[in-house]
Amino acid sequence: MNDSIKILMLKKAKLFDQLQESELNQVARSSQLKRIKKNEFIFHNGEDINYVYLIEKGKVKCGLETRQGKILIKDVLFDRDILGENVFSGSNKRMEFAQAMADSTVIMIPVGIFRTIISRNVDFAAMIMEIIVTRLNEVEKRMHNFVFKKAKERILDFIVNTGKHRGIRIGIDECLINHGMSHKEIAYLTDTSRQTVARVLGELKREKIIHFSPRKPGKILIRAMA
């Protein structure tokens, strides 16, 4: 693919606004564009860390698998989010997996180039560290919520936070979210069960806090964000 097209794709992400033109050219020349089908893994736990990824378009979940086979979904990432950015752990192996939740397109940036630019560009390095710290704080917050909040509160938090970050405002106080997740995937993110998610969403609908169609459960209308 033409480097100029890749530069345009990179510039759509706020993170890469911090790069000089020469740095953008360097990333574009060395990077690859890859299309990932739904449910295909971008990388697995234990793989060598060779690339950092920018999601040009799509939806990707990142998570861990315990020795007992339990899955912990750490985050769900969307268009223009960076993925696999924590390359400073001291290990050359991935500590998590990344799997596409929809057909996606990613820009694969060689980890050596990524580290070089971080070492030279203070503003870019600061933004990367902010992303890493924010994601670690989100995991810590989930642990806190698991201990101190009931399942219904955690699911409600998921809906509200998704509305704030990914929702489309409708009218004065309504918000439409198109999360595109199954009840099982929401359960992973809220540390509940699929049955609990289905029950709580049904309760919230009957209470007229949210609305969704049985035909399109991946879309939820929040009736009053307040």
Q: Which residues contact 198 (CB under 8 A, 6 or more apart)?
A: 183
Fold of 150-222: Arc Repressor Mutant, subunit A (1.10.10)
Q: Counting every residue, how long is the chain?
A: 226
Fold of 3-147: Jelly Rolls (2.60.120)
Domains 3-147 and 150-222 share a fold: no
The Cα–Cα gap between 115 and 125 comes to 9
Residue with tokens 């106080």: 173
More confident residue, 89 or 225: 225
The pLDDT score that the predictor gives to residue 1 is 65
**Burial status of residue 67 (CB atoms within 10 A of its CB: 0-12, 13-18, 19 or more):** exposed
Write the pLDDT tens digit of every residue in 41-53: 999 999 999 999 9
Angle at 157 between CA 161 and CA 166, to 5 degrees: 20
pTM for this prediction? 0.85
Q: Per-domain residue ranges for the chain?
A: 3-147, 150-222
